[in-house]
């Protein structure tokens, strides 16, 4: 992470906003007293009490940081990017059809190894429909 990204986590940024505005799953941070970023590559979470589940909570839905340039000045719950994921992984989001499929394509700008698949579709099936196809 670069220095200009980490300070957003500190008590004057992301963390205070998350707690003050009672964002979804902000209660996951109940054990956190404060957050410090002493250098470009370190984030220190000072806890009020031991919390063995904190690592799991940090990776759970609703506890991740959202892109400020896409969410600032909008209502978080109704922001259009809630259904248009943005990320830095090996795939880019292409399309979501509720109850039907999610379509991803290889992110040619990904910093790591290129994905072997050019495109991937994750399809959803209702159990009833699936049962009919099995027999």
Rounded Cα distance, 25 and 102, in Å: 25
Q: What is the tens place of the pLDDT at every residue in 66-106?
A: 777 888 888 877 888 888 877 778 999 898 888 888 999 99
CA distances from 105 to 38, 111, 113 (A): 37, 15, 14
HSE-up (13 A, CA, CB side) for residue 70 = 14
Q: Is the pLDDT of residue 133 over 80?
A: no
HSE-up (13 A, CA, CB side) for residue 132 = 4
Q: Is the pLDDT of residue 52 over 80?
A: yes
Q: What is the tens place of the pLDDT at every residue in 119-128?
A: 999 888 777 7
Question: What is the pairing mode between strands 91-97 and 101-106?
Answer: antiparallel
Long-range own/partner contacts, residues 2-5 (CB < 8 A, 24 or more apart): 2/40, 3/40
CA distances from 119 to 32, 75, 112 (A): 40, 32, 17
Sorting pLDDT into bands at 50, 70 and 90, what band is 14? low
């Amino acid at each position: 992470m670069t220095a200009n990204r980490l300070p957003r986590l500190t008590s004057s940024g992301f963390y205070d906003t998350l707690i003050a505005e009672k964002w979804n799953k902000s209660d996951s941070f109940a054990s956190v007293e404060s957050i410090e970023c002493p250098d470009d590559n370190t984030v220190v979470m000072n806890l009020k009490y031991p919390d063995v589940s904190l690592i799991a909570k940090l990776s759970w839905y609703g506890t991740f940081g959202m892109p400020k340039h896409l969410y600032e000045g909008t209502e978080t719950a109704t922001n259009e990017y809630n259904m248009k994921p943005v990320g830095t992984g090996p795939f880019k989001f292409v399309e979501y059809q509720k109850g039907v499929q999610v379509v991803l394509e290889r992110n040619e700008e990904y910093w790591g190894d290129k994905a072997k698949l050019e495109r991937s579709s994750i399809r959803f099936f209702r159990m009833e429909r699936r049962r009919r196809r099995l027999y």
